[in-house]
Amino acid sequence: MKEYEIVHEIFNQCSGNQMRDVFMEEREVEDPEAYVRGRHPDKNMILTKDTLPDGTVIIDLDLSGGHQRYSFTEICEGSAVLWILGAVILLCLILFLAGFFLLDFTCGRRKPVDAWDEQVIHKRGLEAIKAEILAGKNWLEGQKREALEITSFDGLKLRGLFVPHPEARGTLLLFHGWRSSWKTDFTVALPFYYSQGLNLLLADQRSQNTSEGKYMTYGVREQKDVVSWANLMAERLGKEHPLFLGGLSMGAATVLMASDLAYEGNVRGVLADCGFTSPWAIIRKVASRTKAIPLDASSALLNVFTKRFAGFDMKEKSTVDALGRTKLPVLLIHGLADDFVPSEMSRENYEACRSEKELVLVEGAGHGMSYVVDTERVQAAIAGFIQKHLR
C-alpha cells in the first residue's frame, strides 16, 4: 500500500471548449489501475496506462460519457523529511546571520576616527562645546606626554597616553565609553583634572581606537584591563602612590565592575559618570526602543553569540554585584536628561553600594554631558572627592 496524490481530470466534451474539472486528493492505494476500475465499472471503458520517468502513473479513460484522466504521484516520506530538514537548515542559517549581525552591531570594532576633527565633532552633535573641546586639545598638546602599551590578561596590546604632573599628588586613570574615545569623553575636563595635582592616564579601551581586540565586552573583560593599567601605574610610581579610577558611560560601568577586584597599587576611589548596571540591562534597554525587534528572542540570541564568539556572558557580572562588595569610595554622576543610559541605573548603583558613596544628579544634562551642563557643581564634587580621599 502506497500513499498517492491523485489528480482526477474530467475533460469537456464540447468542441472547442478546453475547460475541464479537476479534483485532487491524497489516498493510500495498493494498485492504481484497480482503484480506477473500481470507480468506473463501465464495461465499454477503454483504459490506457502509462508510467512517467519520475514514477507518476497516468491512466486515461475513454468512457461512454467522455474522456477522463487519473494521475497518481507517490507521496514519499523521504521527500517530506527533506523538506523539513531544508526548513530547519534555513532557519538555522537565518538565526546564525541574525546572531552575527547583532554581535557586530552591539560589540563589533569600528574604524577609529579623529574625535578632534571638526567634521566629527559636528557629526556627533557636539558643536555646542566645540570651543571647549579644541581648547582642551590645545592644552593637552602643550603638556609632556608619553605613549604607553600593556598586554592584557588575554594577550591583547592595549594602548594609552600618560600625562605626568610635575608635582603629582596622585594619578587619575580614565576609561572612555562605547564606540567613543578619551578624546571625545574627557578632553573638555582634562585641564581641570590636571589642576587637582593629578597625573592622567588616558586609556584606549580594548577593541577601540589604538588598542587591539575584535569585540567590546561592556566592562566584563575591560574590568581586568583596569587592573592591568592600575598595576602598571603602581609599578612605575610606587605601590603607595594614590590612584583614582574614572570612567564615562561604558567606561563608568567598567571601573565600577572593577571596584571589587584586587590591586597591587593604592587605589583610593572610583569616579563614574553615567554608567549602566550590566551589559544585559543596557542592551535590553536600548533594544526596547526598537519595537520591530523581539526583545526576549534577540537578547537571548545575542547572548549565545557573545558567549561563543566574544568570550563573555551578558549576565556574567554587573556593577550592582561589584558595588555590593567594594570597599572603595564611589562618586556617581548622572544627567537627569540622559536618554541613552537612564539615570535610574546610577540610582540603582548608589543603592547597591556598601562603601562610602555620593550621587550627583544634574538637571537638563544628556548622556555624558553633566560636566558641561553644570561645570561648577560637578567640578566641586570631583575636587571634594579627590581631596578627601588623598588624605
Are 51 and 57 in contact, with CB atoms under 8 Å apart? yes
19, 48, 75 - which closes a domain: 75
State CA 284 to chain mean position distance: 9
Residue 43 lies in a domain: yes
Residues 222 and 268 in one domain: yes
Residues 53 and 173 in one domain: no
Q: What is the pTM of this model?
A: 0.81
Q: Give the per-residue pLDDT at 18.
A: 65
Nearest CA among 369, 367, 377, 335 for reference residue 129: 369
Residues 148 and 207 in one domain: yes
Residue 332 lies in a domain: yes
Nearest CA among 253, 280, 284, 259 for reference residue 346: 253
Residue 250 lies in a domain: yes
Q: Give the per-residue pLDDT at 290.
A: 78
- Distance of alpha carbon 181 from alpha carbon 205, whole angstroms: 8
Residues 167 and 30 in one domain: no
Nearest CA among 261, 260, 251 for reference residue 324: 260
Residues 142 and 238 in one domain: yes
Return the residue matching grid coordinates 537612564: 342
Q: How many domains does the chain have?
A: 2
Put the strands of the sheet holding 2-11 in their side by side order: 20-29, 2-11, 66-74, 57-63, 46-51
Residues 52 and 137 in one domain: no
Residues 143 and 194 in one domain: yes
Is the pLDDT score of 23 beyond 80? yes
Number of residues assigned to the chain: 391
Residues 45 and 172 in one domain: no
Residue 285 lies in a domain: no
Residue range 133-158: average pLDDT?
A: 97
Residues 57 and 150 in one domain: no
Looking at residue 225, which CATH number applies to its domain?
3.40.50.1820
Residue 134 lies in a domain: yes
- Domain extent, residue 7, equals 2-75
22, 47, 75 - which closes a domain: 75
Residues 189 and 322 in one domain: yes
Q: Give the per-residue pLDDT at 83.
A: 78
Q: Give the per-residue pLDDT at 79.
A: 63
Residue range 33-60: average pLDDT?
A: 91
Residue 105 lies in a domain: no
Q: 116-120, 166-170, 290-294, 324-328: which range is least confident on average?
A: 290-294
SS3 216: coil
Residue with the larger pLDDT of the pair 108 and 85: 108
Residues 45 and 121 in one domain: no
Of the pLDDT bands very low, low, confident and very high (cuts 50, 70, 90), residue 77 is low
Residue 323 lies in a domain: yes
Residue range 308-316: average pLDDT?
A: 96
Q: Give the per-residue pLDDT at 352.
A: 98
24, 58, 75 - which closes a domain: 75
Residue range 110-139: average pLDDT?
A: 94
Residue 169, number of CB atoms within 10 A of its CB: 14
Q: Give the per-residue pLDDT at 292.
A: 72
Residues 240 and 346 in one domain: yes
Residue 96 lies in a domain: no
Q: Give the per-residue pLDDT at 17.
A: 62
